Amino acid sequence: MNRTARAFWLDSPGRGEIREFTLPAPGQDEVLVRSLYSGVSRGTETLVFRGGVPESQHSAMRAPFQEGDFPGPVKYGYLNVGVVEEGPANLTGRTVFCLYPHQTRYVVPAHAVTPVPDGVPAGRAVLAGTVETAVNALWDAAPLVGDRIAVVGGGMIGCSVAALLSRFPGVRVQLVDADPARARTADALGVGFALPADALGDCDLVVHASATEQGLGRALELLRPEGTVVELSWYGDRKVSLPLGEAFHSRRLTVRGSQVGTVSPARANRSYADRLALALDLLAGPALDALITGESAFEDLPDVMPRLASGDLPALCHRVRYAGPDRNTHA
């Protein structure tokens, strides 16, 4: 068995490289996985690539199989789909999702991989981590039948939240973004769209995911009295101002944080594995394919990541493909 592997490392802020090394043989209850696809979570990963993780958050921001430390050298990432080449009989040959960085092959405990359900293509399964974040956010937000809801910020997370909300009966969902091109994405997801100035107000709930001060301010403006903003944005080392004067108190508004690192207290009886398995099940339909807006070969990552970080290469989820005859495996 070929145990040579290559991994993408952030050598220093703004500069990445591919490193080659030899993997250990998998031990008992471990699996050797050959990558088919990985995904670049554009918001968090480009922040890491720019060196924008504040020192106070170095521990909280660690990915499950991260190597190295911020700001670098560090191997970072958490959206990987591959095929189990060695391991327990019930997993060998299966397509699995793992919270692993960008690497051609890797060895992890068997419990760290989740089988991809039949009917979910491997190329779409890279979205599982993002949909898992959306699941946790909606457990925190607890939307009700018939709610009027805005999702401010049409990135990966915001679009995933909007896509799941579109399945709630009687709910009015509007995706709000400053980029008019997001209207096409909203249409593919089955939700409404508006530019910030045109967004519908009187919302029971607003989910904010734009990672901008302006977006958070607009999210508060769209609420009805006693409405709630669920804040999903990660600002890194940036400081933001929040308009807590004006009518914030008289309208009795709420801003609530939500973060995928902890399972929502509203579902404390569910495990991380339960949440991820649910996210994979929710990927059975093709609507979320609209979130995959670019693809490149693994070997091109040192050139692609700076372009993603600068915005020169726009993307929601940028998919990375790995060489191999099985990369289009569906089950």
Cα-Cα-Cα-Cα dihedral sign, residues 304, 310, 314, 315: positive
Helices 156-165, 182-189: crossing angle, 10 deg rounding: 30
Of the pLDDT bands very low, low, confident and very high (cuts 50, 70, 90), residue 1 is: low
pLDDT tier for residue 2 given thresholds of 50, 70 and 90: confident
> For residue 151, what are the domain limits?
130-264
- pLDDT tens digits for range 23-71: 999 999 999 999 999 999 877 899 899 998 988 889 988 999 999 999 9
CB 68 within 8 A of CB 74: yes
pLDDT tens figures, 211-242:
899 999 999 999 999 999 999 987 777 788 88
Q: Do 121 and 150 lie in a common domain?
A: no
Residues 152 and 226 in one domain: yes
Sole residue written with tokens 């901008």: 212
Could you tell me if 112 and 198 lie in one domain? no
Mean pLDDT of 277-286: 96
* Confidence band for 197, pLDDT divided at 50, 70 and 90: very high
* 30 inside domain: yes
Local structure of residue 155 (DSSP, 8 states) = S
147 and 88: one domain? Answer: no
Closest CA to 174 of 138, 203, 135: 203
Residue type, 139: W
Mean predicted lDDT score pLDDT of the chain: 93
